Amino acid sequence: MTDRFSLAGRVALVTGASRGLGFAMAEALAEHGATVILNARDEASLAEAARKLKADHLAFDVADPKQCSAALARIASKHGKLDILVNNAGIQHRRPLTEWEDQDFDRVVAVNLSACFRLARDSARLMLPNKYGRIINTGSVAAILGRPTIHAYAAAKAGLHGLTRSMAAEIGRHGVTVNAIAPGYFATELNTALLEDKAFTAWVESRTPAGRWAKPHELGGAVVFLASEAASYVNGHVLAVDGGLSVSL
Ligand SMILES: NC(=O)c1ccc[n+]([C@@H]2O[C@H](COP(=O)([O-])OP(=O)(O)OC[C@H]3O[C@@H](n4cnc5c(N)ncnc54)[C@H](OP(=O)(O)O)[C@@H]3O)[C@@H](O)[C@H]2O)c1
């Protein structure tokens, strides 16, 4: 029987992949046979991450349109195609509402939403002629349920869930699917402040049906599924990987 989860022969770009969820998803895609290109800004930590996976890497800032188009042009010329885009790079900023500065809101939206739109559009230009593609956006449970202080993040991730659906509706008939993964609370550097807060950790453990923080590798199955032939009819879906958080009170 053919392995419908095999990614052999597929070329994948994972943004924000030098650590955390991006690294874990890149590792899972590579384990299933994909040729993976890791992205982040810091060249040294990115090269080290790529070395661990024996993967390729391209350092660029996803918020810079010129760097993004140069990176995709490089992928097209080196690999001849792009099959899988994982739009994962993301940042957080926490402040009480009245203390937010405009530039912080714009900075979070630029990385967490506008960059995803641009990379998805430019990737679709490479995918559509081949009639095959998988665009996977890292959304968040924070797009589904409200939390204080993370206003730009919540707005950007909700926008990303919407963008996932609009793109899916438009390009699905050309063999390109667009889906999102909405992680719950994962123990990564993004959440250092929360992980160090004992009261917050106790809240995560009591609030999440799984009773604990998630480990980054627990996102691997979801991204491999959405990237594979097995998910050929899954389009425009937001897959929560949150231990049941978003379906419980
Ligand atoms: N951890 C969670 O519980 C959780 C929950 C829901 C959703 N998410 C989402 O999952 C994604 C990954 O989160 P994480 O927890 O793994 O974060 P993380 O540990 O802070 O890692 C973020 C990654 O993104 C890169 N990055 C940041 N800004 C970038 C930019 N402008 N251009 C290119 N790369 C950039 C970072 O490397 P450089 O700094 O070197 O660029 C790093 O590789 C984010 O979209 C986040 O919103 C996380």
CA of 87 to the centre of ligand 1 (A): 10
Mean pLDDT by groups of 10 residues along the chain of 249 residues: 90 98 98 98 98 98 98 98 98 98 98 98 98 98 97 98 98 97 96 95 97 98 98 98 97
Yes or no: say if 142 and 154 are a contact pair by the CB < 8 Å rule: yes
Q: For position 1, what pLDDT does the model report?
A: 53
Q: Which residue owns the Cα nearest ligand 1 atom 18?
A: 190
Q: For position 23, what pLDDT does the model report?
A: 98
At residue 61's C-alpha, the angle toward residues 177 and 172, to 5°, is 10
pTM of the predicted structure, to 2 decimals: 0.98
What lies within 8 Å, CB to CB, of 249 at 6+ separation is none
Q: For position 3, what pLDDT does the model report?
A: 94
Q: For position 207, what pLDDT does the model report?
A: 96
Sign of dihedral through CA atoms 131, 137, 60, 214? negative
Task: Name the CA radius of gyration of the chain, rounded.
Answer: 17
What lies within 8 Å, CB to CB, of 33 at 6+ separation is 6, 7, 8, 9, 10
Q: Is 235 exposed, middle or buried (0-12, 13-18, 19+ CB in 10 A)?
A: buried
At residue 180's C-alpha, the angle toward residues 179 and 185, to 5°, is 160
Q: Which residue owns the Cα nearest ligand 1 atom 17?
A: 190
CA of 145 to the centre of ligand 1 (A): 20
Site to probe by mutation for ligand 1, drawn from 68, 185, 190, 212 as the one with most ligand atoms within 8 Å of Cβ, is: 190
Q: For position 56, what pLDDT does the model report?
A: 98
- Domains contained in the chain, CATH given: 11-244 (3.40.50.720)
Site to probe by mutation for ligand 1, drawn from 13, 15, 19 as the one with most ligand atoms within 8 Å of Cβ, is: 19
Residues with CB under 6 A from ligand 1: 15-22, 39-42, 45, 61-63, 88-91, 111, 138, 140, 183, 185-186, 188-191
Yes or no: say if 67 and 61 are a contact pair by the CB < 8 Å rule: yes
Name the pairing type of β-strands 35-40 and 133-138. unpaired
Residues with a catalytic annotation lie at 153
Q: For position 171, what pLDDT does the model report?
A: 97
Q: Which atom of ligand 1 is nearest to the CA of 112?
A: 45
- Amino acid 190 reads L
CA of 244 to the centre of ligand 1 (A): 22
Q: For position 187, what pLDDT does the model report?
A: 95
Q: For position 2, what pLDDT does the model report?
A: 75
CA of 117 to the centre of ligand 1 (A): 16
